């Protein structure tokens, strides 16, 4: 199994979620110290899990805009727009 990230996929490609990194840092959210703590990372991870980004789920890359963000990800019958740096916590494998 070769682990890849979202940036390795092109429009129309499908991948399976292997896991969500728990140590993923969201320091890009600004200078607010509350945005950089571990609780916020867990909370963001929980949001992704609630939206269906669970291990074993298949995702398909939809539209990627010219500037690259946000990327449309299709999971089940739902399309979700997510920023690339937010999706860095996803560990994927090609399906």
Beta strand residue intervals within the chain, DSSP E: 3-4, 14-20, 58-61, 71-75, 78-82, 90-94
For residue 55, the SS3 value is: coil
Q: Would the pLDDT of 15 be above 90?
A: yes
State phi, psi for 61 to the nearest 5 degrees: -80, 125
Is 6 within 8 Å of 86 (Cβ atoms)? no
Local confidence band at 76 (pLDDT 50, 70, 90 cut-offs)? confident
Query: Which of residues 24 and 92 earns the better pLDDT score?
Result: 92
**Looking at residues 65-84, what average pLDDT do you find?**
90
- Mean pLDDT over all residues of the chain? 83
Give the mean pLDDT of 55-82: 92
| DSSP assignment letter at 38 | H
Q: Per-residue pLDDT tens for 52-65? A: 999 999 999 999 88
């Amino acid at each position: 199994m070769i682990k890849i990230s979202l940036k390795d996929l092109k429009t129309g490609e499908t991948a399976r979620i292997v896991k969500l990194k728990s140590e993923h840092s969201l320091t890009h959210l600004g200078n607010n110290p509350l945005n950089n703590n571990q609780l916020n990372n867990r909370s963001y991870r929980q949001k992704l899990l609630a939206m269906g980004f669970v291990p074993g789920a298949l995702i398909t890359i939809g539209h990627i805009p010219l500037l690259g963000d946000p990327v449309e990800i299709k999971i089940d019958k739902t399309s979700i727009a997510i920023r690339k740096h937010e999706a860095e916590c996803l560990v994927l494998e090609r399906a």
